[in-house]
Amino acid sequence: MDEYGYHGGSDSMSAIRLLERIGAFTSTYFVVWILLGSALALYSPSTFTPLGEYIPVFLGVIMLGMGLTLTPADFRRILERPRDVFIGAAAQWVFMPVFAYLLVVLLGLPWEIGVGLILLGAAPGGTASNVMTYLGRGDVALSVTITSVTTLAAPLVMPAWVVLLAGESVTVTFGAMAEEIVLIVLIPVIAGLGLRIVLDRYAPTAAEAGLSVFPAISVLAIVLIVAAIVGLNVEEILAASAVVFLAVIVHNALGLGAGYGAGYLTGMSTDRARACAFEVGLQNSGLAVALAVAFFDPIAALIPALFSVWHNISGPALATVFTRRDDVSITESDATSTAD
């Protein structure tokens, strides 16, 4: 406060706008940072391998940021549109783990690698799905709600699928994996939600600043996770067969297609079907990476790490297809109106 009682509001707003521009810039070029981090890790793996032990911390930061974006209104939407939320969540819970298991069997993936694909398939939606839904002109509110529901259910859903599909091939227990997910996902999300409620009530400017800067922080955390896993698995990545890359690409494509199909066939509007496509097809690969490192051989993190790179290519590509389809429809509609 200065001598005239002015609190420097304009300076605060300018700082927030700057943070928003930084967040928008980092999000827009998300795939560039992912590819750059991966390339640096391939070139100098020893620089990034020490980050491996901090993967759960980075993931916790991302989940805290996700919690900060949530409000009680997001959860009220569950009551307002329970049918669409249930369809989107159920499609993700069922399709992706089953697709993963079938690909492991059909492609003959070694089990120490295949378990990473199953972890990925059982993972909840990632924050990338919300961003891609926005870019693809989908229903962002539905996307955020489905992500929230699947994330909160992850401590039950993920261990159940891994134990069911892996059976005697794994020694990890349901309880141990559920506890890990609660620590690195559920608690940070709830903490972020609680912090958002407090800041909105008592320090709205700080809340706005946090929402502005966290996209950049989340992008940095995701890039560090991917770089760490690439560094830890550089030899395996360079030696990975085409089958491993095929598994990543096909699993992602099946998820995007099945998600959109589930929305379309159940009568959802186009924007909601698009949200389902991204929710089902874009998994929380960071969580799959963290669990792979915590409970399995580091090679199990190979497929989730590759997926982290790939889905940040396929997601924007599909979003572009959707927006161009809209633009063509608008152009054709304008042409028809002019002709009439």
Average pLDDT over residues 264-278: 93
Give the tens place of pLDDT for each residue, 15-58.
Answer: 667 766 766 666 667 677 878 888 898 889 889 889 888 888 88
The answer to whether domain 20-322 has CATH 1.20.1530.20 is yes
pLDDT (tens digit per residue) in 157-166: 888 898 888 7
Position 77 pLDDT exceeds 90: no
Q: Name the more confident of 42 and 11.
A: 42
Give the C-alpha distances (Å, rounded to integers) separating 337 from 192, 324, 329: 49, 20, 12
Which of 30-34, 103-107, 120-124 is predicted least confidently? 30-34
| pLDDT of 249 | 95
> Is the per-residue pLDDT at 112 higher than 70?
yes
Is the pLDDT confidence value at 144 over 60?
Answer: yes
The full set of domain ranges for the chain reads: 20-322
How large is the average pLDDT for residues 234-238?
76
pTM of the model: 0.76
